Amino acid sequence: MAVEIPPKNETEAKPEVKAEEPAKTETKTETKADAKKDDKTAAKTDDKTAAKKDDKKDAKKDDKAAAKQDDKDKKDKDAQHDYSFEDAGAGASLTFPLQCSALRINGHVVIKGRPCKIIDMSTSKTGKHGHAKVNLVATDIFNGRKYEDLSPSTHNMDVPNIKRDEFLLLNIEDGFLSLMNDAGEMKEDVKLPDGELGDKMSEDFDSGKELSVTVLAAMGEEAAISYKEAPKGK
């Protein structure tokens, strides 16, 4: 007896082929997700690289600014160091500017319009939004009066041009000194110093000693500030 073999069901075979399609879709989704991750990672890397470059640029700018400031401070210090009393000739200006941070103890500065010698100074720490400040204590070179001033370290202050000259004392009359310089020029407008200095000078001169008087001049004023016995033959 013949047995009929039913024909293959084509409909049943198709689901097996369709079962593979979700896997392809899933693979595509994973590929896109990986690509997005790679893009994000690359973007972060680029941002970090750019940030490092910016940091390096800022650091270079800071280094250059610091180097410029150091050079400026050095020039100011050199200018003060090179200055001498002899530089203040008759045609020189009364004062010259100098950055406050370059001032030094025993140097000179103008405070409240008076030529002063610095006897003490201190610098405060730099504030959050400002500059360090320098506190100056100084005495008037002519009358000894004490002055104080507070100034930002980066600001300029006036420094008096000071000149020292030595004169031979020829006479003392009516409270004034009769002086002569090495060129034989006479000067008779300097007052006899007040106090102990003037008394001792008069006493030594009256005793027959030859005296050499130091006259200090600054900002249109001058005064005899010291004296000593003149070398023999002067």
Q: Convert the pLDDT of each residue in 103-157 to its tens digit.
A: 999 999 999 999 999 999 999 877 666 778 999 999 999 999 999 999 999 999 9
**Residue found by looking up tokens 């030094």 in the block:** 104
Q: What is the dihedral of CA 207, 208, 214, 220, to 10 degrees?
A: 80
> What percentage of residues in the chain have a pLDDT greater than 70?
59
Amino acid 29: pLDDT:
55
For the chain, the structural domain boundaries read 26-82, 88-160, 162-229
Query: Comparing 34-38, 164-168, 185-189, which segment has the lowest mean pLDDT?
Result: 34-38
CA distances from 151 to 108, 121, 155 (A): 15, 11, 7
33 has pLDDT over 80: no
pTM beyond 0.75, yes or no? no
Class of domain 88-160: mainly beta
88-160 and 162-229, same CATH topology: no
**33 or 77, which is more confident:** 33
Sign of CA dihedral 72, 76, 77, 78: positive
98 has pLDDT over 60: yes
How close are the terminal C-alpha atoms of the chain, in Å? 163
79 has pLDDT over 50: no
Amino acid 81: pLDDT:
40
Amino acid 124: pLDDT:
86
**213 or 66, which is more confident:** 213
Amino acid 210: pLDDT:
95
64 has pLDDT over 90: no
Q: What is the mean pLDDT of the chain?
A: 78
Count CB atoms within 10 A of the CB of residue 216.
19
Overall average pLDDT of the 42-51 stretch: 64
Q: Convert the pLDDT of each residue in 142-183 to its tens digit.
A: 999 999 999 999 999 999 999 999 999 999 999 999 999 999
Amino acid 139: pLDDT:
97
Q: Is 201 exposed, middle or buried (0-12, 13-18, 19+ CB in 10 A)?
A: buried
What CATH number labels 162-229?
2.40.50.140
Overall average pLDDT of the 4-22 stretch: 50
**129 or 204, which is more confident:** 204
Q: What is the pLDDT confidence band of residue 82, given thresholds at 50, 70 and 90? A: very low
